[in-house]
Structure 1
Amino acid sequence: MALPPRTHYTLHEVTARWGCNIADIAGWADSGRFRIVTGITLVQCGTEIVAGKVVLSPMELLPLFRRCGTGPTEGSVRRIQLPGRSDWLQITDPAGGVTVAIADMLVLAEEVHAFEDENDMVRRVTSGPGATTPYDWEGMNVALIRRIHDDGLPGTQAELVAEMQDWFADQSDGERIPDSRTIRRRITPVWKALRREVE
């Protein structure tokens, strides 16, 4: 039985996945491309009691994100944002705020995937040499080539993704089927190249 998709990635996992520096992650988060979140214990923000998942401002923790890697690994946060809200709350108790560590900072998987889609990025971690994966990507590539060779391209990329999901289901008795977003990332370069030739 396949595990459900990931829900969060640590900042270190994202840097490895994208082959970038932690300073880049902070910059993209600051520009609103995605959010950096963490979990905190119960704090008071004026009249509000807050605990659990909160959004962090990378600019308030800038020393942690030095490109040279010489910064500290944790810092104090005095301001937090709740998911789904645009206002920032000041932590009033404890007075010094809360300590957060880089190792405990996360990016939601849906925002990681959306960023990759927006920038036409191919996954680095699961496609690199020696990477372990429960899915037969090489087999899918062969099936994809045979499908296009024998029948040409379908009308939409979504149809092709669905056919590849069906292929995985047939090969694993329905037990190991990647989500459509993961398959789409792998076939998008092929789709775009062949659609340009058709046009």
Structure 2
Amino acid sequence: MALPPRTHYTLHEVTARWGCNIADIAGWADAGRFRIVTGIAVVHCDSETVAGKVVLSPMELLPLFRRCGTGPTEGVMRRIQRIDREDWLLITDPAGGVSVTIADMLILAEEVHAFEDENDMVRRVASGSGATTPYDWDGMNIALITRIHDQGLPVTQAELIAEMQDWFADRSNGDRVPDSRTIRRRITPVWKALRREEA
């Protein structure tokens, strides 16, 4: 029986996976490309009690992300964000905030995979030592070619995208299915080229 897919990656795993510096990770997180999360024990933010998974602001922990690697490995966070909200909460108890280390910082696997898809990083990820792409794009290409060869193009591109999503779902028990936008980016050049030939 196969293990379920991963849910999180540490920052060090992501830097190795992408071949980048931890300062790059902080910058992309600050730009809203993904979130850096960690787990905390109970804290109070005025009248709110917060515990468990929270989002960190990398710019508030900037010394931890020095490109030269000379920064500390532990910092103090005084503001946090609940995973399901966008507003920032000031930690009032404990008054000095909460210590956090780089080793305990994570990125959700779904956000890692989405970032890779958005930046067409499949080849780079696949070529890394011990790294694998989260999706079987080569297999999808074969399925796509076979489908078009055997049945021709469907009426709409959306139908073809849905079929490819079903293909991923069938081969991963629904665990590894790219979103329609990601599949559309890969299918659109083929779709346009074949539609031009039909015109």
Give the TM-score normalised by the residue count of structure 2: 0.74
Q: Percent of aligned pairs with the same residue?
A: 69
Q: Distance in 2 between matches of 1:189 and 1:6?
A: 25
Q: Which SS does the other structure have where 1:51 is aligned?
A: strand
The amino acid of 1:128's aligned partner reads S
Deviation of 1:71 (Å): 1.4
Contact preservation (8 Å) 1:36, 1:105 = yes
The amino acid of 2:162's aligned partner reads A
Q: Distance in 2 between matches of 1:88 and 1:132?
A: 35
- Say if 1:21 and 1:146 are closer, same or farther in 2 by CA, change over 3 A: same
Q: Distance in 2 between matches of 1:177 and 1:85?
A: 27
The amino acid of 1:97's aligned partner reads G
Which residue is 1:49 aligned to? 49
Q: Give 5+ residue unaligned stretches, structure 1.
A: 169-174
Q: Does 1:163 align with 2:155?
A: no
Contact preservation (8 Å) 2:168, 2:174 = no
Which residue is 2:85 aligned to? 85
Deviation of 1:110 (Å): 2.2
Which residue is 1:181 aligned to? 178
Deviation of 1:15 (Å): 2.0
Which residue is 1:9 aligned to? 9
Q: Distance in 2 between matches of 1:129 and 1:98?
A: 35
Contact preservation (8 Å) 1:144, 1:164 = no
Deviation of 1:63 (Å): 0.8
For structure 1, which segment, 135-144 or 66-75, has the greater mean C-alpha deviation from structure 2 after superposition? 135-144
Aligned residue runs from structure 1 range 5-154, under 5 A: 5-122=5-122, 124-125=124-125, 127-128=126-127, 131=130
Deviation of 1:93 (Å): 2.3
The amino acid of 2:104's aligned partner reads D
Contact preservation (8 Å) 2:40, 2:51 = yes
The RMSD of aligned alpha carbons is 3.4
Number of aligned positions between the proteins:
190
Q: Give 5+ residue unaligned stretches, structure 2.
A: none
The amino acid of 1:94's aligned partner reads P
Deviation of 1:87 (Å): 2.5
Deviation of 1:108 (Å): 1.5
